[in-house]
């Protein structure tokens, strides 16, 4: 097997400057709201104050004040059912959503679209719309969604793809390998506990927003802050029956929140109605309350092991809250098992399943980790509990039972993206190195010999560890492609559908091309995510851009290399096998050279005239998981219950990091979001179902100084199927903070918290109960 050191790399595995870096640090107008198109209407959405209601009447006559151009209600928009989820087609999410409907299903659901000359006119008009609601009983607690007398949230006739809407079940899944019940009976130790993970807001700094307009030739054009421009175009066509061009500018963070259509249908409805450009930028409150949140989940976890630490059986049985609409309902839930359980592939029996239910709360959707953080919290916690029961060090216990290179898990084949998955043998897995080197650097064993409680200062220190895996792409479904065009100035255009939402994917794709073509990143001019200009790409999700779009880019670059060598062979009149690429040009065995610039100039004007341009596509057969072991030290104030993360060390196997600084940033950022989910970010609703924590004043994402140190170390790893040995890196960091912190709290004070976020109040009263 090839290793990193055997491959001579010039550009890949170096931290080149982000290709959009200069524009971003200068504050250039590159985001959706920065585009001013003349004559644009401002669009605002009137939203439901009720969690569940029928619109009995809606009177807009008083609201048509001067400056208001149109007000659209459910009567004025196409009655076409769809899913907002930006997924491959056909989507595994139920079709249960209309642009506007006669029924509203959560506080914040759309009621009317107002388009006006200015924002203040639109706001004034909104207050003058008279809506009469028939308020229906609602489900605010998803644990009661399947109760006998629960109201039916989706009783529309058009719904399709939902499992059992009459019982509010959007999706259901179950699988079992072996017989968990029987195996548990044979175990020396069994832990059986229930764990909760919360809703979480993406809280990307840039709110949702979109602009639509007809270009001079009458083509509907949409500029939108999206992770999925091609899916957006397809879904807009489904709803409105119109063709369009979707342009993704720079994106101010997405984290899965922009893997859905939020704003696009509203502006398109206005542009189609009025012929005028329309812009809608969500307020922070709308972004928090009327887009998507992480699926809250409850899992009963059962795990059984023998005295010697052999893990024998595992079960996760869950309930997931998809909120008012079912986007990503089934697939997020399944990832709770499919990207967690294969980590412990040596069990004799494993079971996973449960229901995803509707409730009258903000719709849940994709969020970095996509179910894996929800699955990993119960899984890693239950194993930690089991290790303590056996009396084994949790690292030794988890390591003893985890997957290794050359092995597989039957789950890979059984569980895929809403359907069957693919068989795969693990070619790269350095989890042992991550755990062993990580524990040395963290000084795990020394630290755990120290006393935990400092009576004088009334604080306690605790140490926790968590293991995680993720995937790289959705195999056999999602495709990415890349086009490379050679220019006569020695540069190349890279045209990709891949969607850089701040991650740096434009940069790492340019690095891959530059590596193959023996040039530098400055010579690769990247244009990404314009559905009329760039080839198709599934979009930015499922940890797939480096792996899928990266492989497509590499394939395209290799083809371009062959085209260049062919052309050079003709021009230089030398056999092709004597030629090689060398710094921005071609060199022959005898030292003759031809620069890229000269080559394409000759092809333009004087020699066998043609444009060198190639397109390649890539669909993966496998989804090689990255692996991560995270170590955390927490400090607990025994007098208040406040938990502070002192040190968070990540040891990761993501294959070869294409750009180490950007890869490190992905892990650091995901850790911070995971710490937010574990300790800070709380969704609080009032009795009517209105989210109270609806802005940055009340919903606290970790601020500077809230987290101690986050560190990232890369294991030496090479994934043979990845571009230059790379696997994914963007999501996995979110999987470990929850369980690692809960484990560390247990280590410090012997209190096991099984519900995130861990509030200082809850912990304080536990501490008091225990008399610490």
Partner 1 sequence: MRVKIKINDKDQFIETDPGEMLLETLRKLDYKGVKHACSTASCGACSVQLDGKPVLSCTTFTAAVDGHEVKTIEGFSDENSLSDVQKALIDEGGSQCGFCIPGLVVTTEALLSENPDPTQQEVIDYLKGNLCRCTGYESQTRAILKAAKERRSK
Partner 2 sequence: MLDIKEYLKPNTVQSAYEMGQMPNSLYVSGGLMVAQLKISSVERLVDLKGVGLSHIEDHGNAFKIGANAKISDLISNPSLNINGDFIKIALKEIGSTQIRNMATLGGSIAFKLGWSDVITIFMVLNSNLEIYDGKFSEISLETYAKKSMKGAIITAVEVPKTEGIAVFEKFAKSNFDIATLNLGLKIVLDGQIVKDARVVVGSRPMVSQRIKEVEEFLIGKHIKSASKDACDLIEKVIQVGSDIRASTNYRKALSKSLLDKALRRVQL
Is 555 a binding residue for partner 1 by CB under 8 A? The answer is: no
Reading the block at residue 645, the tokens are 């993360």
Footprint of partner 1 on 702-761 (CB under 8 A):
702-705, 707, 709-710
The Cα-based distances of 311 to 109, 337, 356, 400, 414 in angstroms read: 46, 17, 28, 9, 21
Among the listed residues 523, 499, 576, 447, the one whose alpha carbon sits nearest the alpha carbon of residue 230: 499
Is 205 a binding residue for partner 2 by CB under 8 A? The answer is: no
Footprint of partner 1 on 240-259 (CB under 8 A):
250-253, 255
Total of residues contacting partner 1 (CB under 8 A)? 56
**What span, in angstroms and rounded, lies between the C-alpha atoms of 494 and 525?**
6
Nearest residue (CB) to partner 1, 503 versus 551? 503
Candidates 59, 119, 407, 522: give the one binding partner 2 (CB under 8 A): 119
In this structure, are residues 362 and 293 in contact, taking their beta carbons and an 8 Å threshold?
yes
Nearest residue (CB) to partner 1, 701 versus 751? 701
Nearest residue (CB) to partner 1, 92 versus 665? 665
Choose the stretch contacting partner 2; rule: CB under 8 A; options: 273-281, 318-326, 332-340, 701-709.
Answer: 701-709
Choose the stretch contacting partner 2; rule: CB under 8 A; options: 241-249, 286-294, 367-375, 759-767.
Answer: 759-767
Is 639 a binding residue for partner 2 by CB under 8 A? The answer is: yes
Nearest residue (CB) to partner 2, 455 versus 583? 455
| In the complex, minimum distance from the CB of residue 387 to partner 1, in angstroms, rounded to a whole number | 28
In this structure, are residues 655 and 546 in contact, taking their beta carbons and an 8 Å threshold?
no
Is 646 a binding residue for partner 1 by CB under 8 A? The answer is: no
Nearest residue (CB) to partner 2, 452 versus 642? 642
**What span, in angstroms and rounded, lies between the C-alpha atoms of 246 and 531?**
5
How many C-beta atoms lie closer than 10 Å to residue 720's C-beta?
11
Nearest residue (CB) to partner 1, 655 versus 733? 733
Choose the stretch contacting partner 2; rule: CB under 8 A; options: 129-137, 572-580, 699-707, 721-729.
Answer: 699-707
Is 123 a binding residue for partner 2 by CB under 8 A? The answer is: yes
Burial class (CB in 10 A: 0-12, 13-18, 19+), 621: exposed
Is 179 a binding residue for partner 2 by CB under 8 A? The answer is: no
| In the complex, minimum distance from the CB of residue 461 to partner 1, in angstroms, rounded to a whole number | 20
**Residue 413 binds what, of partner 1, partner 2, none (CB under 5 to 8 Å, by partner type)?**
none
Q: What are phi and psi of 119, to 5 degrees?
A: -65, -40
How many C-beta atoms lie closer than 10 Å to residue 422's C-beta?
15
**Dihedral of the CA atoms 665, 666, 672, 673 (nearest 10)?**
150
Candidates 287, 693, 721, 728: give the one binding partner 2 (CB under 8 A): 693
Candidates 2, 3, 10, 34: give the one binding partner 1 (CB under 8 A): 34
| In the complex, minimum distance from the CB of residue 128 to partner 1, in angstroms, rounded to a whole number | 19
Burial class (CB in 10 A: 0-12, 13-18, 19+), 433: middle
Is 166 a binding residue for partner 1 by CB under 8 A? The answer is: no
Is 577 a binding residue for partner 2 by CB under 8 A? The answer is: no
Is 662 a binding residue for partner 1 by CB under 8 A? The answer is: yes
Candidates 684, 716, 720, 770: give the one binding partner 2 (CB under 8 A): 684
**Residue 662 binds what, of partner 2, partner 1, none (CB under 5 to 8 Å, by partner type)?**
partner 1
Burial class (CB in 10 A: 0-12, 13-18, 19+), 472: buried
Is 504 a binding residue for partner 1 by CB under 8 A? The answer is: yes
Nearest residue (CB) to partner 1, 44 versus 554? 44
Give the total residue count for the chain.
772
Choose the stretch contacting partner 1; rule: CB under 8 A; options: 23-31, 133-141, 462-470, 760-768.
Answer: 23-31
For tokens 């239910």, the residue is 357
Is 702 a binding residue for partner 2 by CB under 8 A? The answer is: yes
Footprint of partner 1 on 484-503 (CB under 8 A):
501-503
**What span, in angstroms and rounded, lies between the C-alpha atoms of 396 and 407?**
19
| In the complex, minimum distance from the CB of residue 665 to partner 1, in angstroms, rounded to a whole number | 4
Nearest residue (CB) to partner 2, 63 versus 658? 63
**What span, in angstroms and rounded, lies between the C-alpha atoms of 506 and 569?**
31
**Residue 420 binds what, of partner 2, partner 1, none (CB under 5 to 8 Å, by partner type)?**
none
Helix axes 505-516, 550-572, angle to 10 degrees: 30
Candidates 1, 5, 26, 216: give the one binding partner 1 (CB under 8 A): 26
**What span, in angstroms and rounded, lies between the C-alpha atoms of 458 and 599?**
73
How many C-beta atoms lie closer than 10 Å to residue 764's C-beta?
17
The DSSP secondary-structure symbol of 766 reads H
Nearest residue (CB) to partner 1, 209 versus 318? 209
Helix axes 760-770, 737-749, angle to 10 degrees: 20
Reading the block at residue 484, the tokens are 């490379």
How many C-beta atoms lie closer than 10 Å to residue 136's C-beta?
17
Helix residue spans in 420-487 (DSSP H) = 431-442, 444-447
Among the listed residues 76, 72, 43, the one whose alpha carbon sits nearest the alpha carbon of residue 280: 43
In this structure, are residues 278 and 41 in contact, taking their beta carbons and an 8 Å threshold?
yes
562 contact partners, CB below 8 Å, separation of at least 6: none
Interface ranges with partner 2 (CB under 8 A): 119-120, 123-124, 458, 637, 639-640, 642, 680, 684, 692-693, 697-698, 700, 702-706, 760-761, 764-765, 768
Interface ranges with partner 1 (CB under 8 A): 15, 17-18, 20-31, 33-34, 202-207, 250-253, 255, 281, 283-284, 501-504, 661-662, 664-665, 668-673, 695-697, 701-705, 707, 709-710
């Amino acid at each position: 097997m090839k290793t990193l050191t055997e491959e001579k790399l010039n550009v890949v595995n170096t931290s080149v400057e982000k290709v959009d870096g200069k524009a971003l640090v200068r504050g250039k107008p590159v985001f959706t709201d920065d585009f001013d198109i003349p004559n644009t209407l401002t669009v605002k959405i009137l939203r439901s104050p009720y969690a569940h209601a029928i619109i009995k009447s809606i009177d807009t006559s008083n609201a048509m004040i001067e400056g208001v151009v149109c007000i659209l209600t459910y009567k004025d928009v196409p009655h076409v059912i769809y899913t907002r989820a930006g997924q491959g087609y056909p989507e595994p999410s139920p079709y249960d959503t209309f642009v506007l409907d006669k029924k509203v299903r959560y506080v914040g659901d759309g009621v009317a679209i107002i388009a006006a000359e200015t924002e203040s006119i639109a706001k004034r008009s909104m207050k003058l719309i008279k809506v009469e609601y028939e308020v229906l009983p609602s489900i605010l607690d998803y644990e009661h969604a399947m109760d006998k007398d629960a109201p039916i949230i989706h009783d529309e006739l058009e719904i399709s793809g939902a499992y059992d809407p009459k019982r509010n079940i959007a999706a259901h899944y179950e699988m079992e390998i072996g017989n968990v019940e029987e195996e548990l009976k044979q175990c020396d130790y069994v832990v059986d506990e229930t764990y909760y993970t919360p809703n979480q807001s993406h809280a990307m700094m840039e709110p949702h927003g979109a602009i639509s307009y007809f270009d001079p030739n009458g083509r509907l054009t949409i500029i939108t802050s999206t992770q999925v421009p091609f899916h957006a175009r397809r879904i807009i066509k489904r709803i409105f029956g119109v063709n369009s061009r979707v342009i993704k500018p720079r994106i101010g963070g997405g984290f899965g929140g922009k893997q859905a259509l939020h704003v696009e249908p509203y502006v398109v409805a206005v542009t189609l109605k009025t012929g005028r450009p329309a812009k809608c930028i969500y307020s922070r409150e709308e972004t928090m309350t009327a887009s998507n949140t992480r699926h809250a989940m409850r899992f009963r976890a059962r795990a059984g092991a023998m005295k010697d630490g052999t893990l024998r059986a595992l079960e996760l049985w869950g309930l997931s809250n998809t909120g008012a609409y079912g986007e990503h309902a089934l697939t997020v839930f399944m990832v709770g098992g499919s990207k967690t359980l294969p980590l412990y592939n040596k069990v004799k029996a494993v079971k996973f399943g449960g229901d995803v239910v509707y409730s009258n709360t903000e719709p849940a959707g994709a969020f970095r980790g996509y179910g894996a953080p929800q699955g990993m919290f119960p899984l890693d916690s239950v194993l930690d509990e089991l290790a303590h029961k056996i009396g084994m060090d949790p690292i030794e216990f988890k390591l003893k039972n985890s997957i290794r290179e050359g092995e597989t898990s039957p789950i890979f084949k059984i569980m895929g993206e809403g359907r069957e998955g693919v068989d795969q043998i693990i070619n790269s897995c350095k989890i042992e190195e991550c755990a062993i080197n990580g524990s040395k650097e963290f000084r795990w064993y020394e630290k755990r010999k120290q006393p935990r409680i400092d009576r004088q200062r009334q604080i306690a220190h605790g140490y926790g560890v968590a293991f995680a895996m993720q995937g790289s792409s959705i195999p056999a479904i999602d495709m990415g492609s890349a086009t490379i065009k050679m220019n006569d100035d020695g540069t190349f255009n890279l045209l990709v559908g891949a969607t850089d939402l701040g991650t740096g994917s434009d940069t790492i794709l340019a690095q891959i091309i530059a590596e193959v073509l023996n040039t530098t990143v400055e010579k690769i001019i990247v244009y990404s995510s314009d559905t009329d200009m760039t080839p198709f790409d599934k979009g930015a999700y499922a940890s797939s851009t480096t792996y899928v779009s990266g492989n497509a880019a590499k394939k395209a670059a290799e083809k371009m290399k062959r085209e260049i060598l062919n052309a050079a062979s003709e021009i230089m009149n030398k056999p092709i096998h004597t030629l090689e690429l060398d710094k921005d040009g071609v060199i022959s065995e005898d030292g003759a050279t031809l620069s890229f610039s000269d080559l394409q100039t000759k092809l333009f004007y004087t020699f066998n005239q043609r444009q060198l341009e190639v397109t390649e596509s890539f669909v993966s057969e496998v989804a090689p998981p990255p692996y991560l072991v995270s170590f955390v030290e927490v400090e607990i104030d025994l007098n208040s219950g406040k938990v502070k993360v002192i040190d968070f060390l990540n040891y990761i196997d993501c294959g070869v990091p294409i750009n180490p600084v950007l890869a490190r940033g992905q892990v650091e950022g995901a850790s911070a979001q995971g710490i937010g989910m574990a300790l800070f970010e709380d969704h609080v609703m009032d009795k009517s179902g209105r989210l109270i924590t609806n802005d940055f004043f009340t919903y606290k994402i970790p601020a500077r100084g809230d987290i101690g140190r986050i560190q990232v170390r890369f294991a030496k790893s090479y994934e043979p199927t990845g571009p230059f040995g790379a696997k994914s890196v963007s999501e996995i960091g979110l999987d470990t903070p929850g369980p690692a912190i809960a484990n560390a709290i247990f280590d410090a004070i012997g209190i096991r918290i099984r519900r995130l976020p861990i509030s200082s109040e809850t912990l304080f009263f536990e501490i008091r109960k225990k008399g610490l």
